[in-house]
Amino acid sequence: MSGESGAEGPKSGAGPETGAPVPGGRLEGKRVVLVNGARRKRNTYGLLRETAAFLEAEGALVEPLDLHAYAIGECLGCERCVRGAACPLRDDAEALMSRISSADGVVLASPVYMGAVTGRMKLFIDRTAAWFHRPVLVGKPSLVVATTAGSALSSTLAYLEGVAVQWGAVPAGRIGRTAQRLGERVSWREVARFIAALASPRERLSPGFGALMTYQVQRVLAEKVLENDRLHWREQGWADRTYYFDCRIGPAKRLAAGAFHALLSRRVEKTPEADLAGE
């Protein structure tokens, strides 16, 4: 079931309307994009507006991106972007990706449709395949938002967070609403971690266990599969690290990440550059 049932919200604009950033806040000079996969301006839209208000109160410039306002074609599975070439599709996806990659933080939001994100959100995510191989949001905090009138809230939030992690972002919060809580406003507690991460130097960030394990998978694949990935990871200085950059990683997590990487490295053989789509 959709998480977009309920009273209609405002109908103007290409995304959640936002105000102006408050000067002098601790996020002054920071730009945050809100990527909205909802078509209707109801529950998910409302949570994004409330989240934006908190960010602007701290001085951030908030940029809403309503995916339904843009032309986004279906990924062709041609792998040109993954192999370093330009995407053959001529639509708005590349411009959207540029706006997201240049931001200081990202919020990904979608209602639950049939147990997952909306089709528009999935269309866009598919177009970012190259970001799994060569992440562009390294060290930038992410916040995920989802609503549902039925089930699958936790799995949808986990999926959105996993996508952000694959893009290189550091997870910094989840906001979710089920049918029983659709009218509940966003609280300071729900955005505080994201705001703190935006305000902090990345050396003070602490990636979770899942983010560290995902990094090891991406690192091994970069080493073993595509030559342009291997070169990119080495140029960025990521190839021999526990994580993309020096940050707060406890001894236990560091040890586990190293052991997992060693195990994967032994099991994954270096292969010729074949068809990656698996079709």
> Domains in the chain, ordered, with CATH?
31-202 (3.40.50.360), 209-267 (no CATH)
CA distance 246 to 156: 30
Residue 276: the pLDDT is 56
How far apart are alpha carbons 185 and 232 in whole angstroms? 43
How far is CA 72 from each of CA 11, 37, 124, rounded to the nearest angstrom? 22, 12, 7
Mean model confidence pLDDT for the chain: 91
Predicted TM-score (pTM) of this structure: 0.89
Whether 188 contacts 96, CB under 8 Å: no
Is residue 7 predicted with pLDDT exceeding 90?
Answer: no
Round to whole Å and give the CA distance between 113 and 70: 20
Q: Is the pLDDT of residue 275 over 90?
A: no
Quick: pLDDT tens for 181-223: 988 999 999 999 999 999 999 999 999 999 999 999 999 999 9
Count CB-CB contacts under 10 A for residue 183: 10
Collapsed DSSP state (helix, strand, coil) of residue 22: coil
What is the pLDDT, as a whole number, of residue 11?
30
Residues 6+ positions from 45 with CB-CB distance below 8 Å? 9, 16, 36, 38
Residue 264, pLDDT above cutoff 90: yes
Across residues 6-25, what is the average pLDDT? 52
> pLDDT tens across 159-174, in order?
999 999 999 999 999 9
Quickly state the pLDDT bin for 9 (edges 50, 70, 90): very low
**What pLDDT score was predicted for residue 184?**
93
What tokens does 109 get? 């939001």
pLDDT digits (tens, 9 = 90+) for 126-169: 999 999 999 999 999 999 999 999 899 999 999 999 999 999 99
Which residue, among 82, 169, 66, has the nearest Cα to 127 in the 3D structure?
A: 82
The yes-or-no verdict on residue 71 having pLDDT over 70 is: yes
Q: Which long-range contacts (CB under 8 A, 24 or more apart) does 178-186 make?
A: 178/147, 178/148, 178/149, 178/153, 179/148, 179/149, 179/150, 182/3, 182/5, 182/6, 182/43, 182/147, 182/149, 183/6, 185/50, 186/47, 186/50, 186/51, 186/54
Cα(171)–Cα(106) distance, rounded to whole angstroms? 10
Q: In the sheet that 31-36 helps form, which strands lie side by side, from edge to edge? A: 61-66, 31-36, 105-111, 141-147, 170-177
**Residues of the chain with pLDDT > 90: what percent?**
84
Report pLDDT for 83.
Answer: 93
Instruction: Output the six-digit token pair for 175.
Output: 């906001």
Asked whether 127 and 93 are in contact (CB, 8 A), the reply is: yes
Q: Which residues contact 234 (CB under 8 A, 6 or more apart)?
A: none
How confident is the model at residue 193, as a pLDDT? 97
Cα atoms found within 13 Å of the Cα of residue 72, Cβ hemisphere only: 22
What gap in Å lies between CA 21 and CA 161, rounded to an integer? 26
Q: Which residues, other chains included, contact 81 with Cβ-Cβ below 8 Å and sequence gap of 6+?
A: 87, 127, 129, 130
